[in-house]
Amino acid sequence: MTGLWRRAPATALVFGVLVVPLIGMDPSQPAPSAPATPPAGEMLYLRDCASCHGEVGQGTPRGQSLQEIGPAETHYAITTGRMPIPDPGAERQRRPVDYRPEEVDALVDHMRSFLASEPDIPEVNVQSGDLAKGGELYLTHCAACHQWAGEGGALMGQEAPALHRATPTQIAEAIRSGPVAMPGYSEEVLSDHEVDSIVKYVLYLRQPEDRGGFGIWHYGPFTEGLVAWVVGVGVLTLVVLWIGERGRGEHP
């Protein structure tokens, strides 16, 4: 009896914890469920983007509105590591991407709810492109900024990046959306086939056929002129010195 009495407080405690909460519950009502977890894309956006761009992309003093930007530019910025940036004042340049491909897809899918509908992420068919036509279009629309061999170039207050690390989709996205200061080209200006042709040519520039000989790292006319001056003038100088020394030996 004494032992039972000593165990009574513990028994009462267990009874209160396990049984009392059940008293008064209506068995016809479903048990309360845990709060729903937001989808992965929404969680990533709220964690990494909303502090600058707002919960629905409306923009804040720290970042621009996204509601006039299409999925193509959004996907381009994320897959090149240009967004999200570590600080609002940081330069938008290519960085390592912190997301897995499925996370990128989830993030862009969530953002579609407030992004503009166009330009959408293009479907690229490199095999259908025309290499010669792509070269012509590239020299017309792209070479002035990105250099004739895709090595990039300096512009007023910014830099046109080199193109050798861009994927076919990223190249097409940049053509359609015109990120940062680059102009965008709609289907009325460049057809899908023409975009495919430009992409094919840009990929070709990574290992071009140098028919004239050594490509001099494909830096263009400046390096070619520099080599001409250094090598050509240098050889001529040596020839002149040799002739002078020879003439001096013959006529003491």
For the stretch 194-244, pLDDT in tens is 999 999 999 999 987 766 555 555 555 555 566 666 776 778 787 777 777
Number of H helices, E strands in the chain: 11, 2
**Where do we find the tokens 């509105």?**
65
86 within domain boundaries: yes
Whether 156 shows a pLDDT value over 70: the answer reads no
214 within domain boundaries: no
154 within domain boundaries: yes
The pLDDT of residue 5 is 42
For the chain, the domain total comes to 2
pTM of the predicted model as reported, rounded to 2 decimal places: 0.71
The pLDDT of residue 4 is 43
Per-residue pLDDT tens digits for 97-146: 999 999 999 999 999 999 999 999 999 999 999 999 999 999 999 999 99
210 within domain boundaries: no
Give residue 86's domain range: 40-111
With cut-offs at 50, 70 and 90, classify the pLDDT of residue 27.
low
54 and 91 together in one domain: yes
Can you read off the two tokens belonging to residue 140?
A: 């017309």
152 within domain boundaries: yes
* Neighbouring residues of 156: CB distance < 8 A, sequence distance ≥ 6: none
The pLDDT of residue 191 is 97
Domain boundary among 49, 77, 111: 111
The pLDDT of residue 79 is 97
77 and 138 together in one domain: no
171 within domain boundaries: yes
